[in-house]
Every structure is written in C-alpha cells, then in structure tokens.
Amino acid sequence: MPTNCDAIVIGSGQAGPFLAAKLAAAGRHTVLIEREHLGGTCVNDGCIPTKTMVASARAAHIARRAADFGVVLDGPVRVDMRAVKARKDRVVAQSVDSLTQWLGNLPNLRLIRGHARFTSAHEVKVGGETLRAPQIFVNTGGRAVHPDWPGIDQVPVLDNTSMMALDELPEHLVVVGASYIGLEFAQMMRRFGAQVTVLEQAERAIAREDAEVSREVQAILEREGVTFHFGVRGAKVAPAGGGRIHVALNSGGVAREIEGSHLLAAIGRRPNTDDLGLAAAGIATDARGFITVDDQLRTNVEGVWALGDCNGRGAFTHTSYNDHEIVAANLLEGGQRRVSDRLSAYALFTDPPLARIGMSEAEVRASRRPALVGVLPMTRVGRARERGETQGFMKVLVDARTDRLLGAALLCIEGDEIVHSLLDAMYGNVPVATLRHAVHIHPTVSELIPTLLAQLKPLEENKP
C-alpha cells in the first residue's frame, strides 16, 4: 500500500527545502526526497565552493601585486592547493550541516534519502516505498554536458563537480567553453599558477553578452596569462604520454595541437529529468529534457510543479529560490505571482565581476525602441583608482520615452553588489531623473552611478 502524504518535494536544491519547510509549517505532511547531497549544486559543487576558491585565488593574485601597494613580501607567493581545497570543504560542510540540522527539526517534514521515480501522476517510488500525494514538486536540478568530440571517452574529463575534488594544481588546464563557468575556472586556476588554455566554438567569449563586454572580459583574462582559441572546429581528443591529454583542432582556419594535463568541460548543462519516470506520470518535457511549465510553474499534469534548473526557466540559484517563492505564495497565500514578473539578473564571478540586469544593448537595438546609453570607464572612478583596480566599465541603457532603466552591464570592482541599486530601481519603476539626483556616499564606486547616468546619449550614436 502506498504511504499517503499531503506533498512530495523531489530534490533539495535552492527551491526544494524552502518550499518543503513552508508546506510543513502550513500543516501539510510533507516528504522531501534527496538522492545525494542536501543543498544541490549551489551548496555542494556550484556557487558556494567555487566562490570560496575564487576568494583564495584572489588572495594569491593580490599577494603577487603587493609591491604595487608598497607592501614587501620576503619571498615568492606559493599556493597550497590542499589547503585551498580543505578551506572550501569546510565552508561547504558548514552549509550542508546547517541545512541538514534545520530540516531535521521541522515538524510535519520527513526527509528520505534515495532516488525518486514517478510510477503514476501522483505516486512516487523511492527505495522500496511508494508515496502518494495530491501535490508533487520536482526540483532535481541539472548536470554538466560533455563535448561529443571524437576520443573524448578515452580521456578523463573534469566538470564543475569533479573540479571540486582536485587537491593538486593542474600543470596545464584546457577549458572547453568560454562562458560563465569556464571563465571563472580559467581565471581561478591561472591565479593559482596553472597554465590555462580556453577553447570556444563561438567567435568570442560569453557570446550572449554585448561584444564590448566580451572583448573586455577576454582582455582581462589575457592580461593574467590565459590563452584563448575561438571558432574551434573539428576537435579530436586522444591520450598522451604520462596521463596527459592531446587535443587537435582548427581555430580561425589554423590547425592547432594542444597538450594539457587536465581537460575541463564547461559547455553547458542538461536537466536531471531523464531518470524520473516522467512518462509514467504523463509529464511533458521539451526537446532538451526540460519540464515544460506555465507562468506559475505548473506542469501539464494537475497537481505537479517543476522548479529550478529542471524547468528551463532560469539557471541560477536566485531564480530557483524565486521559483519556490512563487509557488509558495500562490498555494499558501492566495497569490498570483508569475515567473514573468522577475527581471533578468545574473553575474559572472571573474575578478572584476560582470553584473548583468535587464536587456543587453543588442536586445535593446533589436526592440527598435528609442533608447539612451551611458558608459563610464573605471579609470574615472576614484575608488577604483585608490584600490588599483581600474579594469572594466559601467554601462546603462534607458528608455528615452519613459525615462526608465532597461538594463545595465557593470564589469567592475564590486559590480555584483552595486548593480542591485539599479535592479531595485527597475523593480520600483523609478525614473532615471530620480537616480541622477541621489546623493551617494564618498568615496565609493556607487557614487558614480549619478555620473554614469549623466553620460546618457542616444543609442544610435553608440556603435554596436
């Protein structure tokens, strides 16, 4: 006989545990099922561990620049990768332990460890137990995609998960993919001391961004010693002597051969939906395996929702968390919140970081609306000069008719924090004139936001 409950949550990423907790607090007997690690990708092998290592890499980078600040070190800077990994592991363990303790103490919530599969629209089997509930929420996340190059199955391939297990410095890391994950690892490992080569099929890095953003991010990493090859075609992989990896490819019409010690796949992610028994439940997916949902995250099956990376409506921790807020508000508070209410916002955590909100310049141009653009190089920002970090720029896009922000790209020191003042203004529908009159604290980077807005000019005058 099936075990009856009020709600089943499959997966404990950023949406699952918090939704389960709210359902349980509302008096619903809730089961949370997790097959591996509580916290999902973000906590275990995504945001938290990678940004912890980015912090270690930045410390090494700043130490090497100590003389620029009048600080003298009596010897070369060395990196202990075992200590770096141990620090990362401690931070991750603290997060997982905190989440585990919190969930274990919640009334009406049962945590089951195991792999869940649908057996019908409202029944799930995990281990030897079948659970039945009128409401089921899928939050199973995603995993890395490996390139389908000939010979790829003959060599070890790292991804964001297996990279977290390394306690040695790669001699030469070959990164496949010049997008967000690939670039973060490329700069990180270069700062630790590895030789790094990045291979990208597109003609530039982070191709979804405006060309000037791509060029500057590439230039920043190249100045630190990262090598890029774009327009990669016909790549083939083979084992080389001593456990090394040989890659033959064509880039820009030139045949190249690269030999590295490690190969990292960072070309994208796929949803963890292929082993959930979705067909047995009649749950629809798209061609890529993402569970199709409406604007309130409901699937085509009554009483089943999909949240987080598995629904294709967002690929970030913050969008997954917002998914849970939407579902909880609509179910428990009588709300009418929708995915389409949220604005696009994300960051690339290189150093300096790239923070992006709203529309890009290319998207604004494609919309054909009258718009204004303002650009301010960081060399004009006193706070950046004080700290010796003047790489990058700030750019904003404004609707010329409504005087409202359309989007922004902040590639600058603390850009990932500064951008939220602009994001909040967009959510609050605040006119740009109000932001221009704001009095900010000196000396900060944020104080240049009014100055940046004073640079606005018609978009057609700015060359794409």
Residue numbers annotated as active site: 442
Task: Return the H-helix or E-strand segment holding 356.
Answer: strand 354-358
Strands 116-120, 3-4: pairing is unpaired
Both structure tokens of 285:
């997916």
DSSP letter, residue 400:
T
Residue 228 phi/psi, 5-degree rounding, is -120, 145
Rounded Cα–Cα distance for residues 380 and 365 (Å): 27
Rounded Cα–Cα distance for residues 247 and 253 (Å): 16
Question: Could you tell me which residues come within 8 angstroms of residue 132 by beta carbon, excluding any fewer than 6 positions away?
Answer: 2, 3, 4, 5, 122, 123, 124
Burial class (CB in 10 A: 0-12, 13-18, 19+), 84: buried
Single out the residue of 120, 98, 111, 117 nearest to residue 29, CA to CA: 111
Q: Look up tokens 């030469």; give the residue.
A: 172
DSSP symbols for 227-278: EEE-SEEEEEEEE-GGG-EEEEEEETTEEEEEEESEEEE-S-EEES-TTS-H
DSSP symbols for 189-227: HHHHT-EEEEE-SSSSSSTTS-HHHHHHHHHHHHHTT-E
Question: Could you tell me which residues come within 8 angstroms of residue 284 by beta carbon, excluding any fewer than 6 positions away?
Answer: 291, 292, 299, 300
Neighbouring C-alpha atoms within 13 Å toward the C-beta of 115: 6
End-to-end C-alpha distance for the chain, whole angstroms: 64
Count CB-CB contacts under 10 A for residue 156.
10
Rounded Cα–Cα distance for residues 22 and 28 (Å): 9
Count CB-CB contacts under 10 A for residue 51.
15
